[in-house]
């Protein structure tokens, strides 16, 4: 197993937020944009290697002290060259530093996120995780990004009163998911995430998670919702209870299909989760009224103050991501 590192370097704010990328000079992913990075030398610390590789490929010199550690990437098959574990770090530059392609890069340049379509390897997932650090209301927030904004197509929710979350693996996103959002309250936060009950290989396929995030943003354009990108492409399962109570909200609510509602008592640390919830918005997926009322009684037996709100029927409630993947 080889060890590598990747540098996620951002500058600007809002629609002017830019990412430093290189165009790959060698296979795999020849001619595609990627994050600067490379292999870690024997005895070298990952952060030191990240700063070194960044300078060697782009000429951009940054301080180790400014690096924000991101999740280690170790999924089998993430690098076509073999078993490679990556230790990525994020940096924010207050100004756009001059970049010049060196070493293994054909080109090095700053690209507006509004114009970036795809990244090589699993670098799109790394970018999604890094952007989660811009959210002051979420536990991933980094103080170094105080006052900075994401582009307009992915606004950040700043309301710290009630957090309404609609999460799922959304693989793929379909009209049924959009109908759930349309039946949800305004300012719902859509949270694309890994399924904690599935293996790493089931959660992750070979797609670029940045590209798929853009597709979700396009599907939901013009709605009064926000999309939290920080968990999208996570290699490990991420149970709702592990992050919900750490958000900067006074109350918590969930949006879910009625099939998810019927299994809510089986979720990870379900009793603890149910006890901290203020409200659940249940969107029809074909479950019987009797089953839903029985489940409501069971859930309210755990939390008598939990409000269960049942949404309107819609024409896409039979759609299934699993069936779409298999078709």
User: Do both 168 and 291 map to the same domain?
Assistant: yes
pLDDT in tens, 192-241: 997 656 655 555 555 799 999 999 999 999 999 999 999 999 988 889 99
How many Cβ atoms are within 10 Å of 118's Cβ, its own excluded?
Answer: 15
* 172 shares its domain with 296: yes
**Domain shared by 174 and 52, yes or no:** no
The token pair at 92 is 């924010």
* Range(s) of the domain holding residue 249: 162-326
Q: Indicate whether 72 and 221 sit together in one domain.
A: no
Structure-block tokens of residue 306: 């939990």
Do 33 and 109 fall within a single domain? Answer: yes
Q: Say yes or no: 206 and 285 in one domain.
A: yes
Considering the domain architecture, whether residues 33 and 169 belong to the same structural domain is answered as no
Q: If you average pLDDT over residues 46-57, what whole number do you get?
A: 97
Same structural domain, 88 and 183: no
Please, is 51 exposed, middle or buried when counting C-beta atoms within 10 Å of its C-beta (0-12, 13-18, 19+)?
Answer: buried
In whole angstroms, how far apart are CA 26 and each of 29, 69, 73, 307?
A: 7, 27, 21, 56
Answer whether residue 131 is part of any domain.
no
Chain segment 162-202, per-residue pLDDT in tens: 999 999 999 889 999 999 999 999 999 999 997 656 655 55
CA distances from 32 to 22, 160, 250 (A): 8, 40, 44
Instruction: Tell which of 66, 92, 118 closes a domain.
Output: 118
Q: What angle do CA 227, 232, 235 make, to 5 degrees?
A: 160
Is residue 177 domain-shared with residue 322, that is, in the same domain? yes
Closest to 157 measured CA to CA, from 228, 98, 96:
228
Phi-psi region at 14: left, alpha or beta (left = phi > 0; alpha = psi -120 to 50): left
Same domain (yes/no): 173, 321: yes
Q: How far is CA 42 from each of CA 38, 54, 67, 71, 73, rounded to the nearest angstrom?
A: 13, 18, 21, 21, 19
- Please indicate, yes or no, if residue 134 is contained in any of the structural domains: no
Strand partners, 257: 283
Q: How far apart are CA 20 and CA 323, in angstroms?
A: 38
Q: What is the CATH number of the domain that holds 297?
A: 3.40.50.620
138 pLDDT higher than 90: yes
How much is the pLDDT for 199?
Answer: 57
How many CA atoms, within 13 angstroms, populate the side-chain half-sphere of residue 177?
Answer: 21
Rounded CA gap, 127 and 10, in Å?
A: 10
Q: How many domains does the chain have?
A: 2
Q: Is 107 a catalytic residue?
A: yes
Residue-averaged pLDDT of the chain: 93
| Residue 267 falls inside a structural domain | yes
List the beta bridge partners of residue 11. Answer: 18, 93
Task: Tell me, yes or no, whether 126 lies in a domain.
Answer: no
Residues 30-46 have pLDDT tens digits of 989 999 999 999 999 99
Which two tokens mark 281? Answer: 């918005």
Asked if residue 123 is part of any domain, the answer here is no
Residue 157 lies in a domain: no
Among 58, 85, 60, 59, CA closest to 71: 85
Give the end of a domain, one of 83, 101, 118.
Answer: 118
Annotated active-site residue in 44, 107, 118, 215: 107
Structural domain includes residue 139: no
Distance, in Å, from the CA atom of 126 to the CA atom of 139, rounded to the nearest integer, reads 17
Residues belonging to the chain: 327
Q: Does 97 lie in the same domain as 212?
A: no
Q: What pLDDT score was predicted for residue 222?
A: 93
For range 278-296, the mean pLDDT: 97
Same domain, 284 and 188: yes
The mean pLDDT of 309-317, rounded to a whole number, is 92
Residue 23's pLDDT is 95
Asked whether residue 81 is assigned to any structural domain, the reply reads: yes
Neighbours of 48 (CB within 10 A): 14
pLDDT above 90 covers what percent of the chain? 82
């Amino acid at each position: 197993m080889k060890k590598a590192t990747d540098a996620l370097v951002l500058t600007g704010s809002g629609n002017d937020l830019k990412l430093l990328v290189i165009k790959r000079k060698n296979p795999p992913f020849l001619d595609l944009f990627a994050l600067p990075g490379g292999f870690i030398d024997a005895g070298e610390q990952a952060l030191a290697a990240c700063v070194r590789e960044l300078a060697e490929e782009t000429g951009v010199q940054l301080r180790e002290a400014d690096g924000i550690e991101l999740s280690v990437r170790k999924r089998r098959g993430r690098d076509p060259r073999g078993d490679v574990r990556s230790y990525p770090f994020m940096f924010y530059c207050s100004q756009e530093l001059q970049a010049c392609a060196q070493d293994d890069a054909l080109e090095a340049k700053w690209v507006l996120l509004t114009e970036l379509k795809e990244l090589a390897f699993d670098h799109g997932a790394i970018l999604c995780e890094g952007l989660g650090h811009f959210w002051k209301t979420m536990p991933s927030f980094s103080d170094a990004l105080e006052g900075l904004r994401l582009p307009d197509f992915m606004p950040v929710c700043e309301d710290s009163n009630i957090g309404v979350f609609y999460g799922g693996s959304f693989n793929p996103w379909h009209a049924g998911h959009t109908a759930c959002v349309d039946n949800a309250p305004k300012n719902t936060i859509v949270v694309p995430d890994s399924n904690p009950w599935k293996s790493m290989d089931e959660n992750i396929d070979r797609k670029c998670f940045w590209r798929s995030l853009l597709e979700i943003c396009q599907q939901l354009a013009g709605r009064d919702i926000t999309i939290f990108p920080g968990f999208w492409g996570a290699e490990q399962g991420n149970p709702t209870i592990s992050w919900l109570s750490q958000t900067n909200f006074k109350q918590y609510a969930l949006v879910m299909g009625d099939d998810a509602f019927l299994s809510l008592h089986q979720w990870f640390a379900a009793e603890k989760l149910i006890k901290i919830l203020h409200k659940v918005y249940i969107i029809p997926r074909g479950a019987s009224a009797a089953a839903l009322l029985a489940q409501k009684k069971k859930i309210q037996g755990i939390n008598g103050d939990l409000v269960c709100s049942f949404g309107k029927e819609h024409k896409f409630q039979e759609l299934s991501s699993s069936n779409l993947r298999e078709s």
